[in-house]
Chain A
Amino acid sequence: MTKSSSKQASGRSVLLPGDKLAADQKAGSGTFRRDGEAHAAVLGFSSESSGYTNVQPISGRYSPRVGDKVVAVCVETGPSLWRMDIGAFQNSMLHHSETDWKVDFGDTASFIGIGDAALAEVYMVDGSGSHQVTLKKDDCRKLYAGTIVHVAPTRVSRVIGKQGSMITLIREKTGCRIQAGQNGLIWIDGEPDQIARAQQAVETISREVTSSGLTEKIEKLLE
């Protein structure tokens, strides 16, 4: 039985879980080894970097990386920490010492309550997948007011655009404050009708992520 990957119109091929990678390639992320051979572990496109073949997943949940800015939503408060949902497979911990507040023991909920959001940075991911976030980095803070829009984490880079071109465009045209978390949560705050327009723009980008001339389309949408 042949296991050839399917070719896309663009020439890039979609790899399916279990597909064999070329024999001379080293197995990077999104791959696994069996009997000395590298295979794709996820549905995605292959890419090469420094001798390794990685398979970039097309879909899937957010997997945290150190240094990522994320929009985190509090789901649980402990006596000295908060558990934050960042869309990963485990909730993230935010310890009180990773904030600028002086938090008394047991008084966490008066700073961040359940359902409150914050712009945080992932500062630790360990081998077992546990991760922690911090508010002690540039721009990180609790988010008051505004709206959060969900997009697929794999599409955030398109919402931001090259060197932030797309997000800057939306900011300028709507006058909204926008923070795009790498985890797919986009925080938007401003005038209510402008929030709606910005939200519409973000959702359009997420929906039509593969179409060309997207910038022009969004410009037109926000005229």
Chain B
Amino acid sequence: MAGGNSDIEFIKKGKRLDGRKPDELREVRIEAGVLNRADGSCYLEWGNNKVYAGVFGPIECHPRHKQQQDRAIVQARYTMAPFSVNDRKRPGYDRRSSEISYILSQALERVVMVEQFPRAAIRVDMQVIEAHAGTRCAALTAASVALADAGIPMTDIIPSCAAGKVSDTVVLDLNKEEDNYGQADLPLAIVPSTGEVVLLQLDGHLTPEEFEQALDMAYKGCMDLYEIQRAALANRYGGGA
């Protein structure tokens, strides 16, 4: 976890361990509409992360006690495959995935026009096939593309990206080593058209100045991702963005 002190030298001659500059994203590839059974879907590769997202809905909300009389609820479900990490992960829901599912639901409810579907549920299932740090951001990025692909009314598409601190330097989009042995991790998700922040977490320690710098960096990363998300959706329907 971030926050520790490590003697690993993460940055040599201005380059990180994987050859990136401090403010450079890993390579991202997004494809919309990859699953036949789901109403909307997305496959995302982000560095070595691989994530599928599928959307069902809006459908009747079950169990009924979870229904909201004036709006729909977004039921996001984040899960990691047993083979997604080095040590086999025990399959199924755990504390970490229920926390992530909850915050992702909250973030998505901010853009989905839930008031149009009283008493309904919109199910968003995200499966991490391979994990290499930053999977909650990857899952949220994929989920919002899948929601748009499902034809669900939204005010915007959410991109999500992390910044952090390694070897006393603020860097964008931590990889596995930086996340595990770095000093801080700051995942961010925004609504690009309004600049609203819909997800912000911090693991580790940052000074106020570093925090500002990391926030700016993650914000820019989100904006770059947003373009990739838009291009993926436009490509699905024959238009090049």
User: Real complex partners, A and B?
Assistant: yes
Q: Which residues in A have some Cβ–Cβ distance to B below 8 Å?
A: 1, 3, 6-9, 13-14, 16-18, 30, 32, 34, 39, 41-44, 57-61, 89-91, 128-129, 154
- The verdict on A57 contacting B193 (CB below 8 Å), with A18-B157, A89-B57 known, is no
Bound: A154/B151 CA distance, A: 11
Partner of B239, one of A3, A8, A18, A42: A8
How many Å from the CB of A58 to the closest CB on chain B? 6
- The verdict on A43 contacting B148 (CB below 8 Å), with A58-B237, A90-B120 known, is yes
Quick one: CB contact mask for B56-70 with A, threshold 8 Å, 1 for yes?
Answer: 011110000000000
How many Å from the CB of B180 to the closest CB on chain A? 34
Interface centre among B57, B111, B241 (most CB of A within 10 A): B241
Instruction: Name A30's closest neighbour in chain B (CB-CB).
Output: B153
Partner of A14, one of B152, B192, B234: B234
- 12 A-B residue pairs with Cβ-Cβ distance under 8 Å, sorted by A, are A6-B230, A6-B241, A8-B237, A9-B239, A59-B40, A59-B150, A59-B151, A60-B151, A90-B60, A90-B117, A90-B120, A128-B118
Please tell me if the beta carbons of A16 and B148 are within 8 angstroms of each other in the complex.
Answer: yes
Please tell me if the beta carbons of A129 and B117 are within 8 angstroms of each other in the complex.
Answer: yes
| In the complex, B130 has a CB within 8 A of chain A | no
Please tell me if the beta carbons of A16 and B157 are within 8 angstroms of each other in the complex.
Answer: yes
Q: Which residues in B have some Cβ–Cβ distance to A below 8 Å?
A: 39-40, 57-60, 72, 111, 113, 116-120, 148-157, 192-194, 223, 230, 233-234, 237-241
Instruction: Name A2's closest neighbour in chain B (CB-CB).
Output: B227
Please tell me if the beta carbons of B157 and A89 are within 8 angstroms of each other in the complex.
Answer: no
Bound: A44/B150 CA distance, A: 11
Interface centre among A17, A60, A129 (most CB of B within 10 A): A17
Bound: A32/B152 CA distance, A: 13
Bound: A89/B223 CA distance, A: 32
Please tell me if the beta carbons of A61 and B39 are within 8 angstroms of each other in the complex.
Answer: yes
Partner of A41, one of B59, B154, B238: B154
Bound: A30/B148 CA distance, A: 12
Report B-chain residues with C-beta under 8 Å of the C-beta of A60.
Answer: 39, 150-152
How many Å from the CB of B115 to the closest CB on chain A? 10
- The verdict on A41 contacting B223 (CB below 8 Å), with A14-B239, A59-B39 known, is no
Report B-chain residues with C-beta under 8 Å of the C-beta of A39.
Answer: 155, 193
Instruction: Name B144's closest neighbour in chain A (CB-CB).
Output: A17
Report A-chain residues with C-beta under 8 Å of the C-beta of B157.
Answer: 16-18
Partner of A89, one of B120, B193, B233: B120
Partner of A32, one of B117, B119, B155: B155
Please tell me if the beta carbons of B233 and A16 are within 8 angstroms of each other in the complex.
Answer: yes
Report A-chain residues with C-beta under 8 Å of the C-beta of B59.
Answer: 61, 89
Report B-chain residues with C-beta under 8 Å of the C-beta of A30.
Answer: 153
Please tell me if the beta carbons of B234 and A18 are within 8 angstroms of each other in the complex.
Answer: no
Report B-chain residues with C-beta under 8 Å of the C-beta of A3.
Answer: 193
Bound: A60/B59 CA distance, A: 11
Bound: A6/B227 CA distance, A: 12
Please tell me if the beta carbons of B152 and A42 are within 8 angstroms of each other in the complex.
Answer: yes
Bound: A13/B153 CA distance, A: 18
Bound: A155/B110 CA distance, A: 30
Instruction: Name B223's closest neighbour in chain A (CB-CB).
Output: A1
Report A-chain residues with C-beta under 8 Å of the C-beta of B60.
Answer: 89-91
Report A-chain residues with C-beta under 8 Å of the C-beta of B237.
Answer: 8, 14, 43, 58
Please tell me if the beta carbons of A16 and B234 are within 8 angstroms of each other in the complex.
Answer: yes
Report B-chain residues with C-beta under 8 Å of the C-beta of A91.
Answer: 60
Report A-chain residues with C-beta under 8 Å of the C-beta of B118.
Answer: 90, 128-129
- The verdict on A17 contacting B153 (CB below 8 Å), with A43-B148, A90-B60, A90-B119 known, is yes
Partner of B58, one of A13, A17, A61, A154: A61
Please tell me if the beta carbons of B155 and A89 are within 8 angstroms of each other in the complex.
Answer: no
